[in-house]
Structure 1
Amino acid sequence: MAHRWHADPLVWGHGPRLLEVFQEPTCPFSVKTFNKLDEFLSQAGKDNVRVQIWLHSQPWHLYSGIVIRAIIAASTLEGGKDNAYRVMDAVGKHRDEFVFEDHCRGANRRTTPDEVLQRLEEYSGVALTPAFDTPDLEREIKRHAKYSRQNGIHGSPTFMVDGLIDPGMGSGDEVSEWVKRLLE
């Protein structure tokens, strides 16, 4: 029987101000950003802001497509976006197992897509392979890609505040700086 699914939007918080973050999950700067999002929501207040993650594949991160499909697949399971969060967190905590040295060499070059999925399941605790195997999942992957392209996103992480790209925001900023940008 085919996996029946609905992709849970990767949105946390419910306030009027919207911070959209475009990220490639294996990019070190995106991981740095991802690791600050909980603190941002805590400092800004979930009643004041929403954070939406858009997955932005970058071809030099050679497992990008597999990892992004796995995250979106996780969002279709019971637990939705929380499963996706767990997979993103697992990638960040074990990043070296999902990247190539200098984007082109190293032990991971011999890793198969099935081994990438096994690692993601092991580290996240999310059984995502059945959902990953859903052919129609590409519809949601394309939605993320299309939204990025429509907004002129080229690199990760990129930040949009209330629909406008904010080139002044970066992964190296203190969380308090993000809060000021959105709430002051």
Structure 2
Amino acid sequence: MALQPSLRPLIIAGRHDAPHTIDVFLDYVCPFSAKISLAINSVLLPLFSPGGKYDGKVKVIFRNQVQPWHASSTLVHEAGLAVARVAPDGFWKFSLALFKHQGDYFDIPSSSLTPVQIREKLAGLVGDTLGADKKAAFLDLLTLKGSPNGGVAVTDDLKYTIKFSRQNGIHVSPTVLFDGLIVNEISSSWGEKEWTEFLANKVTV
């Protein structure tokens, strides 16, 4: 699947030129997305890393799946995209930390916070996860500038991810594609056994 060059940090496992692609559409405030992220980290990453069984054969792309019925979803995905810029190598580490703390950004806990306060809270998570030296650049990317309705520095990246989901008919998270086709049987409950069997049947190179 296509990926604009500025978003290459969203390739969270495998080599960029791997022939097979797993696209995983995830929402940071979706509990099922958090669940599958653990399997991605513990099962898939070792298989696709140097020395792994599928090294050079499969890559995994994190696809931001904004779900606007959760008011904070846009803000947390902006945060992920900002991290992809200020600390590209730390994107997945930050994403895992955000999934771990996703409850802080659920509807009720975030309902009394302004967008600025939510971004400041996310900056604290950036500092705790990637280092305090990353916070200023992170917040700068998420500061409203320019016209009254012009968004932030990563708004265009956010638009790209939303348009990509829409044109591919993605509605729920998590949704997983293998080589561009939706694989409905993949579940957030999958563990090592299910993923191992799936890859054995799908990887052909």
Do Structure 1 and Structure 2 share a fold, with TM-score over 0.5? Answer: yes
- Give 1:147 shift: 1.1
Per-residue CA shift, 1:52-81, capped at 9, x if unaligned? Answer: 01101112222000001111011111x31x
Amino acid corresponding to residue 88 of structure 1 in structure 2? S
Aligned CA distance change for structure 1 residues 107 and 20 (closer, same or farther; 3 Å): closer
SS of equivalent residue, structure 2 residue 189:
coil
Q: Which moved more, 1:118-127 or 1:50-59?
A: 118-127
Contact 1:8 1:76 in 2 (8 A): no
Task: Give TM-score, length-normalised by structure 1.
Answer: 0.84
How big is the shift at 1:108? 2.5
Q: Would you say 1:97 and 2:104 are equivalent positions? A: yes
> Equivalent residue for 2:79?
70
Tell me what 2:123 maps to.
121
Q: Aligned runs of 1:22-41 on 2, under 5 Å?
A: 22-39=25-42, 40-41=44-45
Correspondence 1:131 to 2:145: no
Q: Which amino acid aligns with 1:83?
A: G
Q: What's the CA shift for 1:7? A: 4.1
Q: 1:10 deviation in Å?
A: 0.2
Equivalent pair of 1:98/1:108 in contact (CA under 8 Å): yes
Match of 1:111 in 2: 113
Tell me the percent identity: 30
Detail structure 1 runs of 4+ shifted over 3 Å in the superposition: 6-9, 43-46
Q: TM-score, normalised by structure 2?
A: 0.76
Q: More displaced, 174-183 or 147-156?
A: 174-183
- Give the SS at the match of 1:76: helix
Residue pair 2:103, 2:109 contacting (<8 A) in 1 also? no
Structure 1 residue aligned with 2:14? 13
Instruction: Extract unaligned runs of 5+ from structure 1.
Output: 1-5, 101-105
Larger radius of gyration: 2
Aligned to 1:3: none
CA distance in 2, matches of 1:168, 1:32: 16
1:43 aligns to what? 47
User: Which residue is equivalent to 2:65?
Assistant: 56
